[in-house]
């Protein structure tokens, strides 16, 4: 991991309602200044992992029941979501949850509540508008009338207003047109490179995720089944077939050869 770890998950287990085991011994590292991708199919446990880190799990009757989560050397898995946000971990939840009746700029101002100083507000807005010029153009627009892409930019900008030390991004490409996705991923790359902001990225679009990340983990049924540098994961035949949808011939897989799936899951045997 680049420049050492800022976040470490040590063999964590997560249960919902004290009976449903969702994560089963998950360990991962996020380096200082790196982008790490968390990959896997629907229901693999990706969003649960992010919520375990950010503390939002507790609002859904979930709990880290074993293992530990460390951020900048301190244990955080017993802290509340508010305490975790104050130490600098901000999660951008899937579904683009904006305050629909507030303007774009009012939404951004709400995001500054963890960093609430008059001196901090203006530089924060300037930084957000630098990376998201579209938000500056529509800053007086009521957020509920913004497009899906504009709302995705807004929730990311709102998280930036709190000056995070680590950003957790959950499915930023979901439901967006390809051109918008390209723009948002370019911004993610710039934020990481220029602001040295570590990012843990959950993304079903594996090709996109591995294009921006330096390292990746593959989750399946609540377990990490594979991890490695992004370029090695891109070249892995299992990743190509099951997540990039490519066979050895470089063609799209079909339902006809889906039966190979169980035979090829070598990492679980």
Q: What whole-number distance in Å separates Cα of residue 9 and Cα of residue 38?
A: 13
CB 103 within 8 A of CB 97: no
Question: Which pLDDT tens digit goes with each residue over 28-70?
Answer: 999 998 999 999 988 899 999 999 999 999 888 899 999 999 9
Instruction: Name the token pair of 231.
Output: 């370029």
User: What is the pLDDT, as a whole number, of residue 26?
Assistant: 97
Indicate the class that CATH gives domain 1-88+165-230: alpha beta
Q: What's the whole-model pTM score?
A: 0.86
Q: Quickly state the pLDDT bin for 259 (edges 50, 70, 90).
A: very low
CA distances 27 to 11, 159, 166, 167, Å, are 5, 25, 17, 18
For residue 246, what is the DSSP state?
B
Structure tokens at 92: 């951008």
pLDDT for 87 equals 93
Mean pLDDT in residue range 146-151: 93
**Distance separating alpha carbons of residues 246 and 178, to the nearest angstrom:** 20
Q: Which residues pair with 38 in a beta bridge?
A: 202, 217
For the chain, give every domain's residue range.
Answer: 1-88+165-230, 98-163, 236-269
- pLDDT number for residue 120: 64
Token duo for residue 44 = 């693999």
Q: pLDDT tens digit string along 169-224? A: 999 998 899 999 999 999 999 999 999 999 999 988 898 999 999 999 999 999 99
Q: CA–CA distance from 189 to each of 35, 231, 240, 254 (Å)?
A: 8, 16, 23, 33
């Amino acid at each position: 991991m680049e420049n050492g770890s800022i976040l470490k998950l040590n063999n964590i287990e997560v249960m919902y309602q004290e009976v449903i085991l969702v994560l089963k011994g998950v360990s991962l590292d996020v380096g200082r200044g790196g982008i790490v991708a968390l990959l896997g199919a629907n229901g693999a446990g990706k969003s649960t992992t992010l919520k375990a880190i950010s503390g939002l799990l507790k609002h859904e009757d979930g709990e880290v029941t074993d293992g530990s989560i460390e951020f900048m050397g301190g244990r955080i898995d017993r802290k509340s979501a508010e305490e975790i946000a104050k130490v600098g971990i901000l999660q951008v939840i899937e579904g683009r949850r904006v305050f629909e009746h507030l303007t774009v700029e009012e939404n951004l101002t709400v995001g500054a509540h963890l960093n609430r100083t008059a001196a901090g507000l203006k530089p924060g807005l300037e930084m957000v508008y630098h990376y998201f010029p579209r938000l500056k153009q529509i800053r007086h627009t009521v957020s509920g009338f913004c497009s899906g892409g504009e709302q995705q930019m807004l929730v990311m900008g709102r998280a930036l207003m709190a000056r995070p030390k680590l950003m957790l991004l959950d499915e930023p490409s979901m439901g967006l047109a390809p051109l918008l996705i390209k723009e948002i991923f370019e911004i993610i790359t710039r934020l990481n490179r220029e602001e040295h902001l570590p990012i843990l990225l959950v993304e079903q679009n594996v090709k996109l995720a591995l294009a921006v990340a330096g390292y990746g983990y593959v989750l399946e049924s609540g377990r990490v089944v594979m991890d490695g540098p992004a370029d090695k994961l891109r070249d892995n035949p299992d990743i190509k077939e099951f997540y990039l949808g490519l066979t050895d011939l470089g063609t799209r897989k079909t339902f006809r050869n889906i039966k190979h799936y169980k035979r090829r899951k070598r990492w679980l045997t």
